Amino acid sequence: MKRNLNIHINHITRVEGHGSIVLNVKAGRIEKLQWNILEAPRFFEAILRGKHFNQLQSITSRICGICSIGHSLASLKATEAALGVEISEQTVLLRRLALHGENMQSHILHVGYLAAPDLFGADSIIPLLKNEHKAVINIVRIHRLANSMSDLICGRTTHPLRFCVGGFTLLPTLKELQSLREELLNGIDTLRNAAESIQAEVHHLPDFSRETEYIALTAENLYALYEGSVASTDTGIHPLSEYLSLTNEYLLPHSTAKFTRHNRESYMVGALARFNINATQLGSLAKEIAARFDLTSPNYNPFMNTIAQLVEIADSMEDSIAIIDELLARGLEEEQPEVKIRPGRGIGALEVPRGILFHDYTIDEQGNCSQASCIIPTNQNNANIQKDMEALVPTIMNRPQKEIELTLEMLVRAYDPCISCSTHYLNVEFT
């Protein structure tokens, strides 16, 4: 069919930030297909210049309201690496717990509030809430559980308060950890029930595959989130110091967020990339959820990123229980982190909900930041979203316009872009 399409989805909805999609088709030929980021740029890297090392975490936390814990931890890791600050095992355990809390919060927000309405045939979660849809009630419960975890470890859910260079300003009590453990145990069945409801509708996810390069942290003994080396499915394992040769940022005029490329035109980061690289290290609950959806590694369907997130929620719940057990067994000790100023450069990398995040700071003799660079997961996914759209559109071009629009929106949503992070917005245009 020689059709004409002019689609402009301006400000794609149910994503974090402002982006748009433009698709122009004339007589069956794609004339323009573009993923645009329209977010107002916020210039964090410029803002950090001259700031004292103690302030960097509080400021960079404000890059993103959804993954403020991730940005805070990347910031602390970079600062600690630059200053040569050693942190205790206890601090690592508590930080891993905080990161799990955020991973659960952000993933369930995306799976449940942003992506699931497409599966349940609703425009948003609001009509589902009004009808007290069973799946949604379970989703809200998991969301609350994840937030209570962040409240306990970080002092609040958004923009953590208890983090500082070298450790924590305040610790939870063992009793509080014990009751969090109970809540997590109770949450497992809630998650199973939510997964069951989603499984019943998962056939609405488009069956589309495009193999690409996947990049994520990897570690020897655990499913890497807080630390590891950088792994690429194309080129193997790289030390962190080589990260710039992996990310290669570049700018396009239609986007205030930068794009990246490594071995080919684009690569993917996030839950599916981590799953493709590290699936064997998942715990039994996560494997059970993956099996429910027939998700096996490698999987090349970007729409399955949402399901990989659900699998990771299970893993975060299970690993959090294990971490709490370890903390309960060893007890908690108030620490006085020793921080001395010394000039240097430090790189902090970790896996945040949407993929691998890098902060890179140079600190001068006065303890002030002289240069900062932050490379954010959504920037790394931008080129892959574009390439996926280019492969997807020809396969759906003869479908009704509404369906094409919805499929493109769902594709972008599957990546769970965090556009504020990458700078903010999404539009789709059809003719």
Can residue 340 be called a binding residue for another protein (CB under 8 A)?
no
The alpha helices in 331-418, defined as continuous H runs, are 377-396, 401-414
Q: Which of 224, 205, 226 is nearest to 273 (CA)?
A: 224
Interface positions, 37-56, toward another protein (CB under 8 A):
38-47, 49-52, 55
Q: Which of 60, 82, 62, 87 is nearest to 370 (CA)?
A: 82
CB of 133 to another protein, least distance (A): 12
Q: Which of 205, 7, 55, 38 is nearest to 118 (CA)?
A: 205
Is the Cβ of residue 47 or residue 219 nearer to another protein in the bound state? 47
Q: What single-letter DSSP state applies at residue 227?
A: S
What count of Cα atoms within 13 Å lies in the side-chain half-sphere of residue 291?
8
Handedness of CA 286, 292, 295, 297 (dihedral sign): positive
Q: Which stretch binds another protein (CB under 8 A): 23-31, 226-234, 249-257, 323-331?
A: 249-257
What count of Cα atoms within 13 Å lies in the side-chain half-sphere of residue 220?
0
Q: Which stretch binds another protein (CB under 8 A): 126-134, 237-245, 282-290, 346-354?
A: 126-134
Letters for 71-110 (x = contact with another protein by CB under 8 A, - = none) are: --------------------------------------x-
Q: Which stretch binds another protein (CB under 8 A): 251-259, 271-279, 297-305, 388-396?
A: 251-259
Residue 229 CA from chain centroid, whole number: 18
The alpha helices in 263-304, defined as continuous H runs, are 271-278, 284-292
- Report the C-alpha gap between 306 and 271 in whole angstroms: 8
What count of Cα atoms within 13 Å lies in the side-chain half-sphere of residue 14?
23
Is the Cβ of residue 25 or residue 125 nearer to another protein in the bound state? 125
**Phi then psi for 175, rounded to 5 degrees?**
-65, -40
Letters for 164-203 (x = contact with another protein by CB under 8 A, - = none) are: x----xx---------------------------------
Can residue 159 be called a binding residue for another protein (CB under 8 A)?
yes
Is the Cβ of residue 13 or residue 395 nearer to another protein in the bound state? 13
Name which position in 6, 158, 229, 281 contacts another protein (CB under 8 A).
158
List contacts with another protein (CB under 8 A).
11, 13-18, 38-47, 49-52, 55, 58-59, 62-66, 68, 109, 113-114, 117, 123-126, 129-130, 140, 143-144, 147, 155-159, 161-162, 164, 169-170, 251, 253-256, 258, 420-421, 424
